Amino acid sequence: MKRLGPVLQFLGCAQGQWRVSALWVQDSADAVPVLTAGGRPVQVTQAPVPGQACTAWRFEFAVAQGAAAQDVGYSIGGEVHAFCVPARDTLPALGYASCNGFSDPRAMKSVKAPYAQWARLARLHRGQERVEGQTHGPLHLLLLGGDQVYSDAMWVMVPELKAWSALPWDKRLKAAFTAGLRRKVEEFFGKLYLERWSQPEVAAALASLPTVMMWDDHDIMDGWGSYPVEQHQCAVYQGIFEVARAAFALFQRQAIGALPPATLPGQDQHNSACRIGALGLLVLDMRSERCPRATRTQDGVELLQAEQVLSPRSWAAVYQWLAEQEAAGGLRHLFVMSSVPVVHPGLELIEKLLGALPGQQEMEDDLRDHWDSPPHRAERLRLIHRLLQLSARGVRVTLLSGDVHVAALGVIESAREDGGEGNARIINQLTSSAIVHPPSSAMEVFVLEHVARHVEQIDRGISTRMLEFPATSHCVMARRNFLTLQPDAPDGAGRYWANWWVEGEPHPYTKVIHPAGAPA
């Protein structure tokens, strides 16, 4: 009996071969499923689903790109599906979404049609929704930028965790992550993925759009990596992280038998990148290595470990990949997936305003995760400098972010080494959040709007700021949404049209992303 799938994943593109994998989960481990694509069966590997009496199967195959886009049909388990492969040497059409769930499980019952945005995404992809006479499909890839599932309910639904949470602080820190507790947490995460991704609207999109996924905190636990060091390092938190990471590897990265090919050299299952002709896609894992400030003693000397988002080893792998793309040439546009926005209203300004607004503890907790949090600013500045360096060499760089439960548009501008602000190098940030989670509250939006227009000078000649959301007079759009990125030139050097599809709006909000060397 089927439990989940198929879930498509994009593995990269090389020598005109569009490579994908498909994940299928069923009860029986004995009856080997068969996936047929183009009339041919494909190779399959399998692995048990931790905490569940079922088996995951992973299929991998490639499609030769032709002179025109093509629909590729495939079948498995009596189901027939299809996805679209772009023509060779053309830019792909992309979708982007984040926050597929609820941080407060009680909110699920109060939201009408929680998966309505998924249904609209599928209609656009199939060309079943026309806007001003234009069809906005098909899409070729779906980028999912974090919180593909929400684990928040585990503190209530796993009795052992609920009991642990009720212990005094010191006993919680010393408690062991027992084998029995591990089994219960594995059962929770396995069930979470199987249920959330089997919702009809979600399942339809995952079966017809090859995905590129990267997790965020709710795929582990809310605020992971931003807790005090003794809490972060306690056995129960670390045990939950290991279980969540295994589930992420299986369901989101489909890492059965080997790492997905897009993983950067020297990395585990995090930080991936690929080239699709003139387009580059860099996917940053901002949770696996995130950790708070800590000290340890070595040979009688106290050593300080600074807070980090990515480790030095991971940054080295990222920078090496960027250097290789520059050396190879032909890179015209780079999309960088950063689950937490690089550009967002300043932490200090928000904290000052929050001091006068009681009941905003959840928003304050989220702020500790942000790039603008003081411990992360130096790491953020290094990233910005490296991306601006790439921009100065003729590559358009665009950041894609989610997490914050509003849609927004931000910009990084540099007037250094280019003769003045009139020729400033620009990096746009497109924030799309959330596709399922309810939007930020009216009070949170009030706070954001009152600080969003502040220009942050992050270094000499380099600033960040929020822009007015397209076709509006405000900086944040507090309704559920997703993003599509449509190219309008077949030669890989044209513009991208960024369209935010906002719940309740018949037309998208549009921002044009020009090619390198033109206004942003």
Residue 250 has what DSSP assignment?
Answer: I
- Is residue 497 within 8 Å of residue 504, measured between CB atoms? no
The SS3 of residue 131 is strand
Peptide bond into 358 cis (omega under 30): no
Cross-strand partners of 44: 59
Q: Which among 182, 250, 226 is positioned nearest to 21, based on CA atoms?
A: 250
* Burial class, 379, CB count within 10 angstroms (exposed 0-12 / middle 13-18 / buried 19+): middle
Cross-strand partners of 476: 408
Neighbour tally for 156: CB within 10 Å: 11
Helices 377-392 and 312-328: crossing angle in degrees, nearest 10, is 0
Tokens of 238: 């670390």
The SS3 of residue 14 is strand
> What is the C-alpha separation between 492 and 495, in angstroms, rounded?
9
Question: For the chain, which residues score pLDDT lower than 70?
Answer: 39, 133, 294-306, 346-368, 417-423, 489-493, 517-520
> What is the C-alpha separation between 326 and 247, in angstroms, rounded?
34
305-324: pLDDT as tens digits: 668 999 999 999 999 999 99
What pLDDT, on a 0 to 100 scale, did the predictor assign at position 305?
Answer: 60
What pLDDT, on a 0 to 100 scale, did the predictor assign at position 109?
Answer: 76
> What is the C-alpha separation between 229 and 55, in angstroms, rounded?
36
- Is residue 318 within 8 Å of residue 310, measured between CB atoms? yes
- Is residue 466 within 8 Å of residue 410, measured between CB atoms? yes
Please give the order of strands across the beta sheet that includes 2-14: 43-48, 55-64, 17-26, 2-14, 211-213, 141-144, 94-97, 481-487, 496-502, 509-513
- Is residue 75 within 8 Å of residue 35, measured between CB atoms? yes
Give the type of residue at 365: D
At 221, phi and psi to the nearest 5? -160, 155
436-458: pLDDT as tens digits: 999 988 888 888 888 888 889 99
Question: Is the pTM higher than 0.75?
Answer: yes
